[in-house]
Structure 1
Amino acid sequence: MEVLMEKKLSQTDIEYRLAFPTSSLRAFPMPEGETAVYFEATDTLENEWNFRLSIRGENDRYTKPVITGDWLQFVRDKGLKVGDKIFLTREEGVNGVRYSIRAERKIFKVWANVQ
């Protein structure tokens, strides 16, 4: 299993879109000339979430990749807050690539999964 992203959530992440690390873009092959790719990720309860990873055009001053799609619904359903952590992982298997998403919150100095 490859961890594509481990991040503490910011205000922007929980209100608008999730900033995604440019270094992990290689895990999402984007067709030539395209600026977005769609993928499905499964959470710890085996719920499936449809996300959109997009990069902005070369002429846009904001070039950082972002995740949208079901992202804000995921935030609401999990009750995520600023400072919670998000993990996005990728695993290759016989049935192809599988993405998983997990959220954690610090409770009494220990990080615990958010269901």
Structure 2
Amino acid sequence: MAKEISLSSPPERVKLFDKVVSLSDIKQHRLAIPKLQAKMHFPLPDASSSRGTLLRMHDSEGKLWRFRFIFWKSYQGYVLTSEWNQFVREKGLSVGDTVSFYRSTAPEMQLYVEYTLQANRDATSSSEVVFEQTPDVQEFKLFGVTISSNVN
């Protein structure tokens, strides 16, 4: 007998908080979670355990992400690790983008993660440098900022 597929609408959700992605979130392969938000919305990991807690979150496409939620002693704060780096690569996140966390209102209280790219993201990626030259002025873009200098 064929399994019936439910076409019900997605569960209702409440927004927990937003986190703007910082340079250290990208470079250190972890997402720092503000302490207040961590304590309010996530099950706190045992500070004596380096294993932390596994948080399962679905994205807007329905993909399941398994982030390790730990207390990072050197940072003295809470961070998401494990699949965070893969999430950044797959979603094309960069500094200034926003990651949003939600929880379903259903009894199982499923967690969700979504992202928003910067609205003013330049076509030039942050790692590219573009040079434009005129006879006496040199301009280039570095991290989306136009820098000019006189070449006399």
Is TM (by shorter chain) over 0.5?
A: yes
User: C-alpha displacement at 1:3, in angstroms?
Assistant: 2.9
Between the aligned partners of 1:102 and 1:37, the Cα distance in structure 2 is: 20
Which runs of 5 or more residues in structure 1 are unaligned? Answer: 110-115
Paired residues, what number?
105
SS of residue paired to 2:43: coil
Confirm or deny: 8 A CA contact 1:5 1:20 kept in the other structure. no
The answer for the alignment partner of 2:117 in structure 1 is 105
SS of residue paired to 2:26: helix
Question: Is 2:33 the counterpart of 1:20?
Answer: yes
For the pair shown, the structure with the greater C-alpha radius of gyration is 2
**Kindly, what percent of the aligned residue pairs are identical?**
30
If the length of structure 2 is used for normalisation, what is the TM-score?
A: 0.60
SS of residue paired to 1:55: strand
**The one of 76, 79, 90 aligned to 1:66:** 79
**The one of 30, 37, 55 aligned to 1:39:** 55
Confirm or deny: 8 A CA contact 2:26 2:88 kept in the other structure. yes
Between the aligned partners of 1:98 and 1:9, the Cα distance in structure 2 is: 23
What amino acid maps onto 2:56 in structure 1? E
User: C-alpha displacement at 1:48, in angstroms?
Assistant: 0.6
**The one of 45, 49, 74 aligned to 2:65:** 49
Between the aligned partners of 1:102 and 1:52, the Cα distance in structure 2 is: 17
Between the aligned partners of 1:34 and 1:108, the Cα distance in structure 2 is: 41
Which structure's residues are more often strand, by fraction?
A: 1
C-alpha RMSD over aligned residues: 2.2
Between the aligned partners of 1:20 and 1:73, the Cα distance in structure 2 is: 18
Listed one character per residue, the Cα deviations across residues 18-60 of structure 1 (whole Å, up to 9, x for unaligned) are 000111224333465546111110111111100011013xxx4
If the length of structure 1 is used for normalisation, what is the TM-score?
A: 0.78
Question: Is 2:20 the counterpart of 1:4?
Answer: no
Distance 1:34-1:90 versus aligned 2 partners, 3 A rule = farther
